[in-house]
């Protein structure tokens, strides 16, 4: 699946204009307030519901978190970091899309470089998070060993990083194919989905390690 340079901005603008004009009967201006509201309000409403689900999942593990302060430290940092990594990935992919260099295939050197950078950042950050979480948890009276906390942070963090890479790629490509500007849609989608996936992945790893 590829997108030629000649159809990058022009093709996207045409697709957006046609979709909007068919629905509203009015000329499309993707920089107008109305166009942005029509695109983002339904999306943000759906994502708000998803965030509520994420909070409910987190609430189900309240006892585990209170018993292990190290995990309580890891949760917000992990989902926040995953959202940041997703934002970076989506931003870079959207830029490539506008430049006409985006090509969704495994041997694309740009995609491989971006993916490698995200995974490298994830490995570095989640290692540091594990060390800091163990130290803070130890001060607060936690009983989890250093190896357990580091394993939980690194394994769940890297699994989430892989998810970020794959989901960002699919989000950018799908957004383009559906006629939406990836600059508007992909970052909110990826960051919110990473919130709930971060919680699920983290506690899946916790269940195995502890």
Domain locations in the chain?
A: 5-209
Of the listed ranges 36-40, 58-62, 104-108, 185-189, the one predicted with least confidence = 36-40
Q: What is the pLDDT of residue 38?
A: 66
What is the residue-averaged pLDDT of the chain?
79
Model pTM above 0.95: no
What is the DSSP-derived secondary structure letter of residue 25?
A: S
**Average pLDDT value for residue range 163-188:** 85
pLDDT score recorded for residue 117 = 92
Say how far apart CA 3 and CA 111 lie, in whole Å: 14
Average pLDDT over residues 132-142: 87
Report the C-alpha gap between 57 and 55 in whole angstroms. Answer: 5
The yes or no reply on domain 5-209 and CATH 3.40.640.10 is no
Q: What span, in angstroms and rounded, lies between the C-alpha atoms of 50 and 74?
A: 21
CA 110 centroid distance within chain: 19
Q: Are 15 and 179 spatial neighbours (Cβ–Cβ below 8 Å)? A: yes
């Amino acid at each position: 699946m590829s997108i030629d340079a000649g159809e990058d901005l022009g093709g996207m603008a045409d697709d957006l204009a046609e979709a909007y004009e068919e629905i509203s009967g009015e000329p499309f201006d993707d920089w107008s307030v109305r166009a942005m509201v029509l695109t983002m309000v339904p999306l943000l409403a759906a994502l708000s519901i998803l965030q509520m689900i994420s909070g409910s999942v987190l609430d189900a593990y309240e006892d585990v978190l209170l018993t292990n302060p190290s995990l309580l430290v890891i949760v917000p940092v992990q989902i926040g970091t995953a959202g940041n990594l997703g934002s970076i990935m989506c931003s870079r992919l959207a830029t490539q899309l506008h430049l006409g260099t985006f090509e969704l295939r495994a041997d694309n050197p740009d995609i491989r470089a971006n993916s490698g950078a995200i995974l490298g950042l994830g490995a570095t950050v989640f290692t540091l998070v594990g060390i800091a979480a163990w130290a803070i948890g130890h001060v607060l009276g936690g009983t989890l060993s250093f190896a357990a906390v580091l394993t939980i942070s690194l394994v769940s963090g890297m699994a989430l990083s892989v998810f970020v890479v794959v989901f960002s790629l699919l989000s950018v490509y799908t957004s383009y194919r559906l006629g939406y500007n990836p600059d508007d849609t992909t970052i909110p989608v990826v960051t919110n989905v990473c919130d709930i996936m971060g919680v699920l992945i983290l506690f899946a790893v916790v269940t195995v390690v502890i």
